[in-house]
Structure 1
Amino acid sequence: MDKRQLASRIWESANTMRSKIEAQEYKDYILGFIFYKFLSDQVEQLMYANDVEPDELAEALVEDDAETVEFVQNRLGYFISYDNLHSTWRAAGSDFNVADVRDALAAFDRLILPSRAHVFKDIFRTLETGLSKLGTNATSQTKAIKDLLDLINDIPTDGAQGYDVLGYIYEYLISKFAANAGKKAGEFYTPHEVSEVMSRIVAAHTQDRETLTIYDPTSGSGSLLLNIGQAVAHHMGDPDAIKYYAQEIKESTFNLTRMNLVMRGVKADNIVARNGDSLEHDWPMFDESDPENTYDPLFVDAVVSNPPYSQKWKPAGKATDPRFTQYGLAPETKADYAFLLHELFHIKPDGIMTIVLPHGVLFRGGAEETIRTRLIEANNIDTIIGLPGSIFYGTGIPTIIMVLKKQRSHDDVLFIDASQGFIKDGKNNLLRARDIERIVDTVHARRDVEHFARVVSRDEIRANDYNLNIPRYVSATLPPESVDFFATVNGGLPISEIDALAGYWDVLPGLREALFDEDTNGYATIRTDDIRETVLEHSASGALADTLNAALAGFADSLETELIDGAMAVPVNTAEDGIKADLFTRLAPVPLVNEYQGYQLLHEKWLTIANDLTILQTEGWDAMRVVDPVMEWKTKDKKKVEVQTGWEGRVATFEIIRDLYLPALRDQVEGLTAELEGATAELAALIEGLSEEDKTDLADVLNAKEDGFLKSDLNKAVKALPALPKGEQWPEGSVEAVQIEAKQLLDRLTKVKSQLKKANEDLETKTHETVENLTDDQIVEVLSTKWVAALMVQLALLPTLTLRELADQVQRLQDKYATPLTQLDTQIATTERSLLASLDKLTGSEADMQAVAALQQMLGGGQSD
């Protein structure tokens, strides 16, 4: 089971187990226990690494052994005794009790190394105080905790996979709880895709630094900080050269920040976290006993945040606060600019900040307009990125990412309208990899992109009275579609609208002529009955596909060399960047092909490749020969239970194995499946064709719902039918004929079901055996098929996607002028005459006939004699 499957399974289980407990609260319990398991396992691994055998652990890890306590504390920052280990709880079985958890959490706080108190002190308080909500008494609470411990037991917490699996599952659970927490979600989670945009921008700005400090004054779960750190570490190469500062007002969420940082492998010395209100209590900058001589403000390389939108704050008394003196105070009812100025104050002169804000900060008046004006004149605002609406959990309002700096080499502002680049994901919108890449590339290149981005001078912003509303400068919303009045009335396709597609005609010679007959008066007609077929089958379209194939020549070989031949050395976290750059270089000269669409295909395949590479690098090549059970949730006795529904290769999927090595068995199963579906459909059609009279006549052989036959009764009825003379048959549609046909179909279904069951069992067994006995050459073939060939097939379709878009545009043009008003007028007149003729034949009461006469008058006809 890979990390995505494990995360999904844990979420499904947790969501079932939480019952009536709110997602917002339950997340604190499951995430708290995962963190405790992590810390507990760290203690065990430390002891084993220092020559303590498993059977010696109980004697070695005791609180009375001051030397061992000090040894563990100095290396981990805390101490957990043997009795309080997660593994000890699990081994206790029925002797385990909720009281064991309470005692362990109290002991944990008591045994923290004082110099690590800022990381671990009270980190389990939310979990400790919430245990009582897991049940009405100690027995039910104990059961709920044991269920949780069972649930998280499969999560690896030993760091063997670079914290990748643990971190992925933790982030996955946080995002899922956020999606189910409604408006409260914004308190602790920034969607990963938004974090990705912000982190890529920060990483590009700070990539040449040997050390880095990052600060988030509204840290939530800490995921935003971590994503920034990971992106920067790709360039720096040393994740331990990054120091994280975090502040969070809500205690339970503050604990989440610290847990997340620790579990993702951030060293305690690199974590500086505070529980407090960033606007009320700025980062401690002085010793309260001697503030004047100890003043030492915090300045960092990068600040990132997703603060609560437009919340109230207390500006009173802050006019002299150094964070706000240069720009002014945000209004009491909207703290958006207070957070922005707080963050801007804390970046170094060459630093950068990215902040998520509501659109209102761009155009609201009053104090906010004053602050906005001063920020522009101080040349602090670098980029404004408009995001799609409904991209954050708990709110549908559209938001922006604003990028600010203290020192800039230019005085313009880059506006990006990314509001139209997304896919739907349930109730929310989701940035795709291609959307993220396009935004980040545009920020780096700082260039104009039609209907997407524009670099705007400060003079133009001044002329707009410092209003930064994005649509004033660039809009992703296309202008209204033009309508030709002559074509609307008389028909025909305006050549001017065909000319608007010149980008296609220039690249696809002859296709325009194949589609349209154009006259000298500026109008045209469609020459083909099938627009899509004409476009896709044209020789110019084939030439475009040839151009793409030439551009991709050697790409598959390059991927096989890098990813398969060098699988054990591939840097999983950074390899996609190099492959992406190669793909962009290849696609750039291919006309009409969208390189971002190509990157989306690469990224989606890379998620699978990266996951497989992680497994192979962790477990070795033998992982290719491992088969795992497939588990699914089923409802049994009104309860959800997890049951095994089959098997799947850990890396070598059954589908690929069957396609490569068992095609005959696969085809047999598919053929029998199709036969079964066909017979089922025939039987359903037979029943649907029965009249009520037929159903009455067949009552003895139909079930109570009259939607199926009773097989035993049907067999008896057919057997009892009198024999017909040789060569004769029962009349078609007769009760006898229906019974005979139904029996034949049921017999056929029984036979095919039996054959299909055996074929499926044979195919499952053979597939299982094939995976477990893959040769080295077959392993290479499987990976080549799964990783490389599948991607190349998708990339080869890029021209087809473009050509389909062209066909759709031509079809819309045809549909727009398909029925001219002159023709519509004729159709209306014909319909009116037909209706008048029908009205003449009506009879009724005097009142009815008066109504008919009135309707005839409306239709332009008089009362007929």
Structure 2
Amino acid sequence: MALKKSDLYTSLWKSCDELRGGMDASQYKDYILTLLFVKYVSDKAKADPNSLIDVPTGGSFDDMLAAKGDKEIGDRINKIIAALAEANGLQKVIDLADFNDEEKLGKGKEMQDRLSALVTIFNDLDFRGSRAEGDDLLGDAYEYLMRHFATESGKSKGQFYTPAEVSRILAKVVGISTTTNQDQTVYDPTCGSGSLLLKVAAEAPRGITIYGQEKDNATWALSRMNMILHANEVADIRKGDTITSPQFTKNDQLQSFDFAVSNPPFSVKSWSNGLDKDYGRFEFGRPPEKNGDYAFLLHVLKSLKSTGKGAVILPHGVLFRGNAESTIRKELLKRGYIKGIIGLPANLFYGTGIPACIVVVDKEQAAARAGVFMIDASKGFIKDGNKNRLRSQDLQKIVDVFNKQTEVDRYSRMVPLAEIADPKNDCNLNIPRYIDSSEPEEIQDLDAHLHGGIPERDLDALNGYWDAFASLRTTLFSQNRPGYSDLAIDVADVQQTVLDSAEFKKFAAEVGAKVGHWFAAHRDDLAAINKKTTPSDLIGSLGDDLLARFKPVALLDEYDVYEQLMSYWHNVIHDDVFLIMNQGWLDAAKPRKTIEDKDRKLSEAPDLVVGSGRSASKYKMDLIPPSLMVATYFAEYQTYIDELGTAAEEAVRVVEEYTGEHAVEDGLLSDAMDDEKISKALTTARLKDAKREGSDPDEVRALQHLIELYDAEAATKKAVREAQAELDLAVLKEYDNLTEGDVQSLVLDGKWHHTVAKRIEGEVDSLTLALVSRIEDLGESYAETVGELDTEMAKLAGKVAAHLADMGFIA
């Protein structure tokens, strides 16, 4: 039975990391990704006899399996990879990692066990049908591993990977889309492992012709493998330094492309070492000798066709540094080549923690360009471990706003070239010069502090709420004097007043109905999920429609709503879709036994346990959680268990109350205490002694009563356990009774729709709490006038003086 995608990747990473030993992640990735490559091409050759990769006898993953446990396994794996490399002209590409290296993999039995375990891990993966079934299992697994390797490799070695979210932004802002033709070209002069190029290619479902160059030999090999792994076997990836030795030239000129993207190393000091020809790249000025940022930008620009478009990730310094860079910047602006600039959050990238920006260049209609479109997206991110990460809503907002050139207050603006060229700016492109993204400071109203009342201008700033909840303002406020209002209710009652208002209830109901209509429009498509479904197309349709439906809704930010869907998609629905695609609705819903693998140190937490002790059976319910089954089919019995639980809690409370009263020093139960703790065993032992000793009858009765309470507590807890065990068994059996229609109803309506609706309902609650918080702040800020505070201070000063006088201190 197939695991959920997330479990599969987690298992893969944990297993691989467990076997890494003392090797650095940047080195270890070469071993792991080589095995992944061999496994993939072997599986693909089995499924597709016309595969472009020839898997020869003695050069397959099955041959690696046959080497498990062999004391010469390292040498055998090297020979297997060599045979595969020779058959496909991939020497110095897939055979760089030495699987017989004792320093990295251990000696003798240690190497034998480690490599045997690694081969076993990859044998669990099956890539034969992943693309045919519309879901890129391999691509996602590769992405998962690369992200973890980049995270583990540290700053100096993490530059082989561009975060997927940033890569997708570059692809979308240069205009690659469903209309892009297969004969159009995309080029990355610093392609690293190829992750950026592949994300760009993924935005062009018809296909696109890929070109790339990478300086580092091991990373270049990784990129070649990556292209094959992602079915881009014909991608042209060349080796060498792009600036000093560009490989894509024709007739002594740089070859040109339709699109170019790049995430070059930031501020390289040695960029010009060995440079003897500039290929016309520096016609607008030569970059500084100690900083290569503009060398890469100018290379990209020169590599574009007359209508070409490019996007380059660079440090913010390129926007404002002076001298040679200022000269180049002015020339680019004068010719209209810079279409836009997108400021990104800090700490997104694995090679550096500094904030970066995307410079978008566009040669098409450059002469007519009258401005530069700027976005300050520096505040839109989420913490993810020790890095920051763009959320789905951040990515989507950047792309929508940039492509539609939409001006959003404190976020985006079309800045006229005349303003940029004005002497006070002097072609400085630093984003804060043109977009103030800071929150406006709250202005304190002295008149209100002196004479009371809440300033109307502060209430007018909440007009979005008053437009949506028309009568709420008059309910909450009464006029104090012209320009000022008072809270008409106690500040503690504000939240309940808002929640009880008919307009708020209507607004919340309309939001819920809108979510219902949105889900109903897609329910048939969701019910039709099968092995041919393309998950990216599915979520794309769902997300775009949700954004469109909530764009006109007052108060709610459509991107916040969108994020609720997308985060749930990434965390849950995508896994569910994967299971349904691979197993069908019915089989995906069946319980499975938990995985217990001591060798790989893997142990799944069960969703349901039937039985106890060693005979207990532990189950995972990947698609339909037991809680949903209980809520749907056993709600009344769950209520009964809840009541038993309440009775058990009450029994515990009674025991605690009774012992708290009597199990104290000199109390009736003091002799039953042991180091200030009391238990049934101690109580029973003390009762036996008390009877034998003829102790105080009150103590005997107290001990007897406490034992009765302990028995009652035990009985109620036992009733809860037995009832829960009965329910668990009934739930397990109920899974066998489910029809496909039942499964679809549970998953689509009870799980997906219900959860998304609740999440969006949470957005409504959040905006309401924001209103309440603001009103409470205003009410408390202006609750007392300066005069009232002075009077109160005088009273307090008088009390202090009186107390001092009473103590004999005279001022």
Q: TM-score range by the shorter chain?
A: 0.7 to 0.9
Q: 1:558 aligns with which of 498, 511, 521?
A: 521
Q: 1:410, 1:578 → 2: CA distance? A: 33
Deviation at 1:173, TM superposition (A): 1.6
1:379 and 2:318 aligned:
no
Q: 2:806, 2:701 → 1: CA distance? A: 46
Q: 2:407 aligns with which of 418, 440, 448?
A: 448
Instruction: Name the SS for the 1:519 alignment partner.
Output: strand
Q: 2:782 aligns with which of 808, 817, 823?
A: 817
* Counterpart residue identity of residue 64, structure 2: W
1:542 and 2:505 aligned:
yes
Equivalent position of 1:225 in the other structure: 197
The 3 A distance-change label for structure 1 pair 370 and 79 is same
Q: 1:543, 1:81 → 2: CA distance? A: 70
Instruction: Name the SS for the 1:157 alignment partner.
Output: coil
* Counterpart residue identity of residue 404, structure 2: A
Contact 2:134 2:531 (C-alpha < 8 Å) held by counterparts: no
Instruction: Name the SS for the 1:513 alignment partner.
Output: helix
1:196-345 matches, within 5 Å, as 196-204=168-176, 207-233=179-205, 238=206, 241-266=207-232, 268-269=233-234, 271-285=235-249, 294-295=251-252, 297-315=254-272, 321-345=278-302
Q: 2:275, 2:68 → 1: CA distance? A: 58
The 3 A distance-change label for structure 1 pair 676 and 300 is farther
1:717 and 2:686 aligned:
yes
Q: 1:583, 1:314 → 2: CA distance? A: 47
Contact 1:195 1:228 (C-alpha < 8 Å) held by counterparts: yes
The 3 A distance-change label for structure 1 pair 748 and 557 is same
Equivalent position of 1:791 in the other structure: 756
Offset from partner CA, 1:561-590 (integer Å, 9 cap, x none)? 221156566542213333333333332333
Deviation at 1:41, TM superposition (A): 2.9
Which stretch of structure 1 is more off in the superposition, 17-26 or 27-36?
17-26
1:594 and 2:550 aligned:
no
* Counterpart residue identity of residue 260, structure 1: N
Instruction: Name the SS for the 2:383 alignment partner.
Output: strand
Q: 2:582 aligns with which of 615, 618, 626?
A: 618
Equivalent position of 2:478 in the other structure: 517
Deviation at 1:385, TM superposition (A): 0.9
Q: 1:614, 1:830 → 2: CA distance? A: 72
Equivalent position of 1:859 in the other structure: none
The 3 A distance-change label for structure 1 pair 44 and 805 is same
Deviation at 1:466, TM superposition (A): 0.4
Q: 2:118, 2:797 → 1: CA distance? A: 73
Q: 2:389 aligns with which of 419, 423, 430?
A: 430
Which stretch of structure 1 is more off in the superposition, 713-722 or 456-465?
713-722
Contact 2:341 2:374 (C-alpha < 8 Å) held by counterparts: yes
Q: 2:421, 2:784 → 1: CA distance? A: 49
Equivalent position of 1:492 in the other structure: 453
Instruction: Name the SS for the 2:325 alignment partner.
Output: helix
1:504 and 2:465 aligned:
yes
Offset from partner CA, 1:611-641 (integer Å, 9 cap, x none)? 433332333333334323345899x9xx955
Offset from partner CA, 1:19-56 (integer Å, 9 cap, x none)? 4333333322222222222233334445xx5xxxxxxx
Contact 1:315 1:329 (C-alpha < 8 Å) held by counterparts: no
Q: 1:92, 1:129 → 2: CA distance? A: 12
Deviation at 1:224, TM superposition (A): 1.5
TM-score, L = length of structure 1? 0.82
Equivalent position of 2:65 in the other structure: 90
Deviation at 1:280, TM superposition (A): 2.1
1:864 and 2:810 aligned:
yes
Instruction: Name the SS for the 1:95 alignment partner.
Output: coil
Contact 1:676 1:752 (C-alpha < 8 Å) held by counterparts: yes
* Counterpart residue identity of residue 416, structure 1: I
Equivalent position of 1:395 in the other structure: 352
Deviation at 1:126, TM superposition (A): 4.1
The 3 A distance-change label for structure 1 pair 260 and 316 is closer
1:75-154 matches, within 5 Å, as 75-82=51-58, 84-95=59-70, 97-109=73-85, 111-113=86-88, 117=89, 120-128=90-98, 131-154=101-124
1:743-754 matches, within 5 Å, as 747=711, 750-754=714-718
* Counterpart residue identity of residue 430, structure 2: N
Which stretch of structure 1 is more off in the superposition, 660-669 or 345-354?
660-669
Offset from partner CA, 1:246-302 (integer Å, 9 cap, x none)? 222223322322222221222x22x2112322222212425xxxxxxx436322222
1:175 and 2:138 aligned:
no
Instruction: Name the SS for the 2:254 alignment partner.
Output: coil
1:573-722 matches, within 5 Å, as 573-607=536-570, 608-631=572-595, 641-642=602-603, 645=606, 646-671=618-643, 701-702=673-674, 709=678, 711-721=680-690
Q: Which runs of 5+ in 2 are unaligned?
A: 607-617
Deviation at 1:415, TM superposition (A): 0.6
Deviation at 1:443, TM superposition (A): 1.0
Equivalent position of 1:364 in the other structure: 321
Contact 1:41 1:157 (C-alpha < 8 Å) held by counterparts: yes
Contact 2:177 2:204 (C-alpha < 8 Å) held by counterparts: no
Contact 1:487 1:494 (C-alpha < 8 Å) held by counterparts: yes
The 3 A distance-change label for structure 1 pair 765 and 98 is farther
Contact 1:112 1:121 (C-alpha < 8 Å) held by counterparts: no
Contact 1:560 1:788 (C-alpha < 8 Å) held by counterparts: no
The 3 A distance-change label for structure 1 pair 471 and 145 is same
Deviation at 1:534, TM superposition (A): 1.3
Instruction: Name the SS for the 1:450 alignment partner.
Output: coil
* Counterpart residue identity of residue 805, structure 1: A
Deviation at 1:227, TM superposition (A): 1.2
Deviation at 1:400, TM superposition (A): 1.0
Which stretch of structure 1 is more off in the superposition, 321-330 or 542-551?
542-551
Deviation at 1:456, TM superposition (A): 1.0
Instruction: Name the SS for the 2:237 alignment partner.
Output: strand
Equivalent position of 2:739 in the other structure: 775
Offset from partner CA, 1:643-679 (integer Å, 9 cap, x none)? 5634223323322222212324444555555666666
Deviation at 1:373, TM superposition (A): 1.0
Q: What is the Cα-based RMSD across aligned positions, in Å?
A: 3.6
Deviation at 1:205, TM superposition (A): 6.5
Q: 2:662, 2:249 → 1: CA distance? A: 86
1:192 and 2:164 aligned:
yes
Deviation at 1:375, TM superposition (A): 1.1
Q: 1:470, 1:329 → 2: CA distance? A: 24
Which stretch of structure 1 is more off in the superposition, 613-622 or 803-812?
613-622
Offset from partner CA, 1:748-778 (integer Å, 9 cap, x none)? 5544554444444433333332223311331
Contact 1:203 1:228 (C-alpha < 8 Å) held by counterparts: no
Deviation at 1:812, TM superposition (A): 2.5
Deviation at 1:342, TM superposition (A): 1.4
The 3 A distance-change label for structure 1 pair 788 and 461 is same
Offset from partner CA, 1:58-97 (integer Å, 9 cap, x none)? xxxxxxxxxxxxxxxx954444434x53334334543352
Contact 2:382 2:388 (C-alpha < 8 Å) held by counterparts: yes
* Counterpart residue identity of residue 27, structure 1: K
The 3 A distance-change label for structure 1 pair 166 and 77 is closer
Q: 1:690, 1:396 → 2: CA distance? A: 62
Equivalent position of 1:348 in the other structure: 305
Q: 2:125, 2:291 → 1: CA distance? A: 42
Equivalent position of 2:375 in the other structure: 416
The 3 A distance-change label for structure 1 pair 314 and 220 is closer
Instruction: Name the SS for the 2:771 alignment partner.
Output: helix
Q: 2:4 aligns with which of 2, 20, 35?
A: 2
Deviation at 1:369, TM superposition (A): 0.9
